[in-house]
Structure 1
Amino acid sequence: MPLKVIQFLPSLRGGGVEVGTLELAKALVEDGHESIVVSAGGPMVERLTADGSTHVFWDLGKKSPLTFRHIWRLRKWIAAQDAHILHVRSRMPAWLVYLAWRGLPEGCRPHLVSTMHGLHSVSAYSEIMCRSERLIAVSETVKQYIAKNYPQTDMGKVQVINRGVSPEEYPWGYQASAQWQEQWHNEFPELKGKRLICLPGRLTRLKGHQFLLNLMSSLKSQFEDLHAIIVGGEDPKRLAYAEELRQKVLDLGLADKITFCGARSDMREVYSQAAIVLSLSSKPESFGRTSTEALSMGVPVVAFDHGGVGEQLANLFPQGRVPCFDEEVLIKTVTQVLESGTLPIKNTLYLKEEMLEQTLAVYKELAGRS
């Protein structure tokens, strides 16, 4: 039976949630279903519509009491769509969709699905994600977070569907082309012939750059060919931190050991140059896309053992787990990985196709109850 599925999120300006929305929308169309995405728009709309989905412009993500004025019109619009599934992926749109959906006659409602993408601050505002008929947790970490912080939630409706990457996009053992490597070394000549440690992510304090600086200070004499790259753009709201970080590199005498590469759209190629990819976030992540991408390529990941990243390492590269914030163990672990050449287990757990198939199965199961 062809389904009609409507996904709701704040915008399509880029990010993990947005990428997942587009991947699912494309899978729906390819499986013969009708896919609609409601958002405030953004650069990714063109790709969405090129893949066969319909985009409806509606700003339901603005955190303002005025946004609730859309509820009556949204309820009327949902009723006219005759959809099978409404899928909410963010808290503010979830509130509006839930209130609009609840006001429909019970026998005429589409099924309501939500995905908990993040470990949000615990509050009544965040609890809205638990009110759907089926709640998808993007990792076991998120499921445990729901059970601990929202004990009133029926855990029987919570299903773990791990986020996944495509082995075609991030293939095991991938090597960047000679042309790409030439351009890379032209841009960053100091990296040629070096063993690289890569810390991906925006320049924000949460990403744990200080741990990297301390690590490089400790290892620079032991591994003369070791060089760190910080790959991520500056956060416009935290420019002072970016400047502070660059100054610390100079103060510690690490200017010849650390390179800021800025935001990159060629992360697959960047990972292929790395001996190790780090994840040193001070707060646990719900999943961790960059670590999954690197592990899928066979690149060792060393990370603090918490959240979704710790979960991935337990399954694919337990040698890379470090007790949170333990710098002594971090140094020892990086040293052991560099010296041993140990590689991750091949990724068979965090696959995009499985993620999409499991999500479509949820839709079909719910629609079959109608």
Structure 2
Amino acid sequence: MPLARPLKVVQLLPALESGGVERGTVEFARELVRLGHESIVVSNGGRQVERLEQEGSRHIQLPIHRKSLWSLTQVRPLRRLLTELNADILHVRSRAPAWITWLAWRKMDPATRPRLVSTFHGMYSVNAYSAIMAKAEQVIAISDCVEQYIRDNYQVPEDKITRIYRGLDPNTFNHNPDTDGLRDEFPQFEGKKLLLMPGRLSRWKGQLDFIEVMHRLLQKRDDCHGIILGGAEANKESYREELEQRCRTLGIEQAITFTGHRSDIQAFYNLCDLTCHLSSKAEPFGRTVPEALATGCPVIAYDRGGASESLHAAFPDGLVPADDIDAFVERIDQLLNQPPGEICLPDAFYLKAQAEATLGVYYRLLDQPVAQHN
């Protein structure tokens, strides 16, 4: 994309810890810097701040993360900060910061204030609190199903919504066969067909269904080993214990490995024969699906939500009817019995395309007349 003019972009989110929204914010910030723009992130801080700053962005710590009336005390400080920054674009990525930002922004001079963009990273519960995400001048949806959700539940004009997939970094997710370190670390993987279940340990993510899939699959064939990759949040350690107990009850504890949180998930994608996605409800995007596909690892997932969009685009053989565990097991067996096919994830799922499309939204908005009332 030709650089029309360098922009000063401020992204606002609760914190910079380890979630997908946070990681995507940091990656997009790096892309902005690479393209010659000035990138600023406002959050309550976190473990990714150091990386963000090393890659050329500026971080400003402000407690805009709390879902409480106390957060209203941050409206004036944020308004002063935004006036000082004199940015071109404010991009809000979460509801609590969106409320603080909107309340600060609406009292600024419409002729000189930044333009306001929001991204719906989820299919938020429909209420007045969530409706703040629809008040931005332009709204980005991270998948077709999220875009449809916005249309169904909020009165957002069609010309205010743009669907832009969350982009993957090809330097991280690619075909890299160097997995010797993992094989050394986990000798139980040797000689097995490896099935990966990535995602934080949360009931709706489907780890219990994955254990049931493994149980039924092992009754058909004995050459498979399951990997549950992801950590439990501080208040959900009991769920991991429940998962481990379920494995023992079914007598398959030797056939499933719990890795805990890992920062080398891309290596597991390259190592494994299949990745499984078993969420019990439609995910807004389902980032692990295109991540795995980008490495060439086939994915099997229920045909719903954002996860199905990636598979329809790159590997439709991996789709099975929603909540049909028997069909899931059969599809695994089929795919393991045939040579892996070529998987080509479209450019729309990569960071370069996301950055170009998002900048397109920014430039179009900057060219539009300023609304005097919002």
Work out whether the TM-score is over 0.5. yes
1:167 counterpart = 2:165: no
Write the letter of the residue equivalent to 1:337: L
Q: 1:251, 1:211 → 2: CA distance?
A: 14
1:254 counterpart = 2:262: no
**Alignment RMSD (CA, Å):** 1.5
1:73 counterpart = 2:77: yes
Q: 1:99, 1:199 → 2: CA distance?
A: 41
Indicate the SS of the match to 1:313.
Answer: helix
Q: 1:242, 1:161 → 2: CA distance?
A: 34
For residue 34 of structure 2, what is the aligned residue in structure 1?
30
For residue 307 of structure 2, what is the aligned residue in structure 1?
309
Q: Please identify, of 60-69 and 218-227, the stretch whose mean Cα deviation from structure 2 is larger.
A: 218-227
Q: 1:157, 1:283 → 2: CA distance?
A: 27
Write the letter of the residue equivalent to 2:121: H
CA offsets 1:78-112 (integer angstroms, 9 cap, x no match): 22322111110110000011111111122122100
Evaluate the alpha carbon distance shift between residue 177 and residue 229 of structure 1 in structure 2; reply closer, same or farther with a 3 A threshold: closer
Q: 1:124, 1:323 → 2: CA distance?
A: 34
Are 2:179 and 2:270, in contact at CA under 8 Å, matched by a contact in 1?
no
Q: Please identify, of 161-170 and 81-90, the stretch whose mean Cα deviation from structure 2 is larger.
A: 161-170
Counterparts of residues 242-281 of structure 1 (less than 5 Å): 242-281=240-279
Q: 2:192, 2:227 → 1: CA distance?
A: 11
Write the letter of the residue equivalent to 1:270: F
Are 2:304 and 2:322, in contact at CA under 8 Å, matched by a contact in 1?
yes
Q: 2:101, 2:159 → 1: CA distance?
A: 22
Q: 1:28, 1:234 → 2: CA distance?
A: 33
Indicate the SS of the match to 1:19.
Answer: helix
Displacement after TM superposition at 1:187 (Å): 2.9
Q: 2:27, 2:115 → 1: CA distance?
A: 21
Instruction: From 298, 301, 314, give the equivalent of 1:300.
Output: 298
Runs ≥4 residues deviating over 3 A: none
TM-score calculated relative to the size of structure 2: 0.93
For residue 90 of structure 2, what is the aligned residue in structure 1?
86
Displacement after TM superposition at 1:34 (Å): 1.6
For residue 357 of structure 2, what is the aligned residue in structure 1?
358
Q: 1:126, 1:25 → 2: CA distance?
A: 25
Are 1:299 and 1:343, in contact at CA under 8 Å, matched by a contact in 2?
no
Write the letter of the residue equivalent to 1:288: G
Q: 1:209, 1:31 → 2: CA distance?
A: 40
TM-score calculated relative to the size of structure 1: 0.94
Counterparts of residues 43-82 of structure 1 (less than 5 Å): 43-82=47-86
Q: How many percent identity over aligned positions? A: 43
Displacement after TM superposition at 1:321 (Å): 0.8
For residue 12 of structure 1, what is the aligned residue in structure 2?
16
For residue 155 of structure 1, what is the aligned residue in structure 2?
158
Are 2:195 and 2:276, in contact at CA under 8 Å, matched by a contact in 1?
yes
Indicate the SS of the match to 1:346.
Answer: coil
For residue 139 of structure 1, what is the aligned residue in structure 2?
143
Displacement after TM superposition at 1:177 (Å): 4.3
Displacement after TM superposition at 1:344 (Å): 5.2
Displacement after TM superposition at 1:14 (Å): 1.8
Q: 1:177, 1:302 → 2: CA distance?
A: 22
For residue 219 of structure 1, what is the aligned residue in structure 2?
217
Indicate the SS of the match to 1:107.
Answer: coil
Unaligned runs of 5+ in 1: none
Displacement after TM superposition at 1:186 (Å): 3.7
CA offsets 1:142-176 (integer angstroms, 9 cap, x no match): 101111121x111211001111213332223x212
**How many residue pairs are counted as aligned between the two chains?**
364
Write the letter of the residue equivalent to 2:268: V
Counterparts of residues 339-358 of structure 1 (less than 5 Å): 339-343=337-341, 345-348=343-346, 349-358=348-357
